[in-house]
Structure 1
């Protein structure tokens, strides 16, 4: 479950829900893995080429899109 580190760190209050959905839903888990890979690539290009680099911006957009998809699958926060 280490591949969920940055998403869980960003949404720590929803860690239980994230881990539960990962265990039950292979599609959610695959999307989360894609998110983590994109987040790693974004961090890499931001460090190597800088924040204004097109690759950095492209990966930032991918990360945001995947985050929106994951949060939609989680649904609204409860109680």
Structure 2
């Protein structure tokens, strides 16, 4: 993908219950993604524990999605 542009691994925010479930079943997932990003030489942005409201514990609300999109765009712009 690098030949087509900048590659960034992004872990999206979820509700606290979903985050706890993910941590229970795959406690090393974040370390694995960090390691993968380092080995590929790409940034890894983790927003899992960020407090964005969700509709169902997994999908952030429309308003929160707009806020998150602005934050993600700003964070990616800072990487450049």
Give TM-score scaled by structure 2 length: 0.34
Which of 1 and 2 has higher RCO (CA within 8 Å, sep 6+)?
Answer: 2
The structure where helix makes up a greater share of residues is: 1
